[in-house]
Structure 1
Amino acid sequence: MSTPISQEDFLKLKTLFMESFDESDALAEEIVGYAKTYGEIRFLSDNGKVITMLCLAELEDGYKYLFAVATSPSYRGRGLFSDNFSVYAGKNENIICIPQSDSLFSLYRKLGFTQEIFIFNTSVVGDGSLRKHLLSNYDMDFEMLYRIYKSSCFYPKKPKELFMSTMRCHLLYGGTVISDGSFYALCGVGENSRNIYEICVPKGSENRAAELIKGCVSGVAAASLAADFTTSLRNSGLTYNAKRIAAFRQGADIPKNNINNSSWKSLYINILYN
């Protein structure tokens, strides 16, 4: 459900995003623009200035994704985000978020995000054999990438519009994409350009993870993967460690065993988007 936001408030929300994260107008336009058109935005103002905001998007099966959380630097430490969230979020909503930093998990825990979701990091020496499939930003086939994502085991999935926005943000951050049509790998930026942020394959092909990692990197590099890929890593003799990446708040009146007959530990949200 879209949220009616005036153009004046939209510009103020973009300004807050850029001020909070020192990011470009293009990135603010993409993220806040998605929230304005497809998501839900809640914000507080002071003397005409937007000082804190949060955005939510619908995921499949009734889950919601909390993203683009920002508070003006000069207003931090006053509990504004907590106030905004407490007023807005329904107690029976299942909500997933990716805290901007590890230190913020304690804040989210106070708001009911008591369950943590992990990704798994591994280090490999790759041969770079798949880097010939590095896609150009100018002819990126977003539809192909979405088909791979849609058929993957990742759950809960983003709607198509949010997935496309996520991919555009990845490129705006300077990231790259490797894909031969049967998988995709999202690679890092700058000094981390060889590292893999995410690998996605159609469901049932998770055992390809180790070979794909090695083919997508040249030399020593790191990769982050969803829990479904850990069996492939073990079978290939690769060691890995867990890192908490997201927090989950389960609706107060929703039975613990009623999350799509699946453990909340298997939940996964693809790539950082806030």
Structure 2
Amino acid sequence: MILCLNIGNTNMTGGVFDGPELRLDFRRAAHPRISGDEFGLFLRGVLKSNAIDPQAIRHIAVCSVLPEATYSLNTACRKYFAITPFVIRAGVRTGLKIRYRNPQEVGADRIANAIAAVHQHPDQDLVVAGFGTATTLCAIGADKTYHGGAILPGIRIGLTALVCRAARLASVEIAAVDHAVGRSTAESMQSGLYYGQIGMVREIIGRMRDEVFRGEAPLVVGTGEFVSLFDAAGILDVIRPDLALEGLYLALMMNG
């Protein structure tokens, strides 16, 4: 079995693959100061509680945007699983032609998403929209060229900014709403956060279509913690919440 771990700015998501099948997925909060022992005990515990023997794990694949947490996770993998993990970083095989001026700047999670998206939708122009701490949009050509993308504040960051910077605004539930005109402060915040994300994403996808895809509409693949909020928003063609985990599995196969 293969354990895949995606460490984001806010959460760590994990999955266990039995062959190409995702048998288990899980999530926990991520922070840079987590210790190797915390990681190791958590991972062994979540496996055992789901009837998976930790000794059945043969490989571990990781993508991370938190360098300190990556170091702790490496320590945990070696101590608790006797495995040196495969980590997505510059120089590994991805199957992508990355056109960033400095390819090392592309987030590992964005690379993992792109690997899975081109595998699942071959020979198609793609935009991968990731809805997490940040909202990211990546333009990928049918020839597997990773052209680049856009990064904007995610919906939770937007809420935090409002609450912290506006004296009379309190926190609200992050939710999909069916009205643009709120009839209370809370409803107005929810509307602004939700439709603000939709508006920004739609505008950027439209510009990518014209700049990169010669005016042809790309297939838009959505993923990330908040992607389910936008299921009915009309901006996504496909939703794959576990896209990064699937990309990690594929990257490990390419580099095995």
Q: What TM-score does the superposition give when structure 2 sets the normalisation length?
A: 0.30
Q: What TM-score does the superposition give when structure 1 sets the normalisation length?
A: 0.28
